[in-house]
Structure 1
Amino acid sequence: MPIPEDVTGEEIDKDVRQELQSLPKTLAEDVARNLVMVARLIDEDPEGAYGYSKVALRLASRVAAVREAAGFAAYANQKYSEALAEFRAARRMTGSVELWPLMADCERGLGRPEKALDMAGAPEVHKLDKAGQVEMRLVAAGARRDMGQLDAAIVTLQSPELASNSVQPWTARLRYAYADALLAAERRGEAREWFAKAVEADKDGSTDASDRLAELDGVEFVDAFDENEDEGGNEPEGDGAEQASAGPDEGDEK
């Protein structure tokens, strides 16, 4: 697959670069450039990232970082069986438990929420850092919801991390998951409160909490340009391309 000339391979993390030192220099450079492309594309073009990950895997399947990248690319494309196999391989090579929550989420993706819950109670979880433990809690709550256990999912998410006022990298996603579970349980007023808290923590827009909050508040965004108007019709009223109409949501709890 073609790689832009500006991609040198030097962009990769220094730990990954060190792993690649076990390879011949030219091969290491080729693998590094493919890994850079995986990282560049995985959010915007997961299929493209998957393609580059397969090239890297063909070149250096015995490098843990390559197996991990292949797992992430497969996961982004919802190829959960393949992702799980790659994550397991990376874990065998490194002995690290870092990928444990992702492995459990792959079990969910494969329709095995019970297995994900088993993993949530495994000793490996205690070896995870705080971010990993929060991620495992999110996976476990998702597994509970997969099994129709909404109340259990809500309880699973209740934790010191959820109650804390400090904002950490995981805070927005944790609050969002809690709000979503509350809404699914028809606890609408509480859900609105937690979607609002998720918005406060979501500085980079990693969730759609603001949209969910607006929906609960009865705010609807509409295109100011009427598609039915004749071409060259009158200018739309107002000074923006979008207008918002708001009204009370009769179903909202007081």
Structure 2
Amino acid sequence: MMVARLLDEDPEAAYGYSRVALRLASRVAAVREAAGFAAYANQKYAEALAEFRAARRMTGSVELWPVMADCERGLGRPEKALDMAGAPEVHKLDKAGQVEMRLVAAGARRDMGQLDAAIVTLQSPELASNSVQPWTARLRYAYADALLAAGREQEAREWFAKAVESDRDGSTDASDRLAELDGVEFMDALDEGESESDGQRPAAEDGDED
């Protein structure tokens, strides 16, 4: 419970709790999975992969397949991630899992310098759909980012805008990326106030004026 509660706001603390849980109940699949996500959040990819594999052996579920493939990317093995993207396990994933696998595969292509292949990988019915699903914003964002990396700025702007439209919970920084492309600069209100204050002439002290 503490791992789940702290994972987003304090990954290091979540990792600490996961190590305690492992010492107490290492044969519980949910504990191994939680430990995997805590390690993953702290970029301990080898450890995360080992925990995810253990959880999968205990449950027989393929649910963790995409994040396991992303661990391979984190370990500098994008080719292995691509192999996993083409494995039979992918067909057993639900729609959300298949979209996640597509995102991982596109990331692996980018790791290998294959930008055009990454763009093609992300082109899918889910990307083209007007229906907004939990994965829509991240999928559109990844597509926009790949387009931008390939120098296709106008198309990237269009897809960042679409990502903003579908990002209902602020899971991406698509609005910032869109503003950046539009040349919009944000100024911190506090900094602006300090600058104005610095530019004001100090009040004259008694005896300074004629």
Q: What is the TM-score with the length of structure 2 in the denominator? A: 0.91
Over residues 172-209 of structure 1, what are the superposed CA-to-partner deviations in whole Å (9 max), with x where a residue is unaligned?
00000000000000000000000000000001100000
Over residues 141-161 of structure 1, what are the superposed CA-to-partner deviations in whole Å (9 max), with x where a residue is unaligned?
000000000000000000000
Q: 1:251 to 1:53 in 2, by over 3 A?
A: farther
Over residues 45-87 of structure 1, what are the superposed CA-to-partner deviations in whole Å (9 max), with x where a residue is unaligned?
0000000000001000000000000000000000000000000
Alignment pair present for 1:191 and 2:156: yes
What is the distance in 1 between the residues matched to 2:64 and 2:131? Answer: 25
SS in 1 for 2:193: coil
Over residues 13-54 of structure 1, what are the superposed CA-to-partner deviations in whole Å (9 max), with x where a residue is unaligned?
xxxxxxxxxxxxxxxxxxxxxxx1101110010000000000
Aligned twin of 1:57: 22
What is the distance in 1 between the residues matched to 2:33 and 2:198? Answer: 49
Q: 1:123 to 1:162 in 2, by over 3 A?
A: same
Over residues 208-229 of structure 1, what are the superposed CA-to-partner deviations in whole Å (9 max), with x where a residue is unaligned?
00000000000000124xxxxx
Task: Report how far residue 252 of structure 1 moved.
Answer: 55
What is the distance in 2 between the residues matched to 1:203 and 1:189? Answer: 23
What is the distance in 2 between the residues matched to 1:45 and 1:164? Answer: 35
Q: Does the 8 Å CA contact 1:189/1:252 hold for their aligned counterparts?
A: no
Task: Report how far residue 249 of structure 1 moved.
Answer: 48
Q: What is the TM-score with the length of structure 1 in the denominator? A: 0.75
Q: 1:217 to 1:58 in 2, by over 3 A?
A: same
Q: 1:232 to 1:251 in 2, by over 3 A?
A: closer
Task: Report how far residue 123 of structure 1 moved.
Answer: 0.1
Aligned with 1:231 (options 180, 185, 192): 192
What is the distance in 2 between the residues matched to 1:170 and 1:206? Answer: 10
Q: Does the 8 Å CA contact 1:217/1:248 hold for their aligned counterparts?
A: no
Over residues 116-136 of structure 1, what are the superposed CA-to-partner deviations in whole Å (9 max), with x where a residue is unaligned?
000000000000000000000
Aligned residues: 206
1:115-130 equivalences under 5 Å are 115-130=80-95
Task: Report how far residue 232 of structure 1 moved.
Answer: 9.7
Q: 1:192 to 1:64 in 2, by over 3 A?
A: same
Q: 1:180 to 1:239 in 2, by over 3 A?
A: farther
Q: 1:231 to 1:49 in 2, by over 3 A?
A: closer
What is the distance in 2 between the residues matched to 1:115 and 1:43? Answer: 27
Q: Does the 8 Å CA contact 1:218/1:249 hold for their aligned counterparts?
A: no
SS in 1 for 2:194: coil
SS in 2 for 1:203: coil
Task: Report how far residue 239 of structure 1 moved.
Answer: 18
What is the distance in 2 between the residues matched to 1:83 and 1:223? Answer: 38
What is the distance in 1 between the residues matched to 2:95 and 2:83? Answer: 19
Task: Report how far residue 231 of structure 1 moved.
Answer: 13
SS in 1 for 2:192: coil
What is the distance in 2 between the residues matched to 1:124 and 1:86? Answer: 18
Q: Does the 8 Å CA contact 1:216/1:249 hold for their aligned counterparts?
A: no
Q: CA RMSD in A?
A: 10.0
SS in 2 for 1:183: helix
What is the distance in 1 between the residues matched to 2:66 and 2:185? Answer: 36
Taking only the aligned residue pairs, the percentage that are identical comes to 90
Over residues 77-130 of structure 1, what are the superposed CA-to-partner deviations in whole Å (9 max), with x where a residue is unaligned?
000000000000000000000000000000000000000000000000000000
SS in 2 for 1:84: helix
Moved over 4 A (4+): 230-235, 247-254
What is the distance in 2 between the residues matched to 1:171 and 1:239? Answer: 46
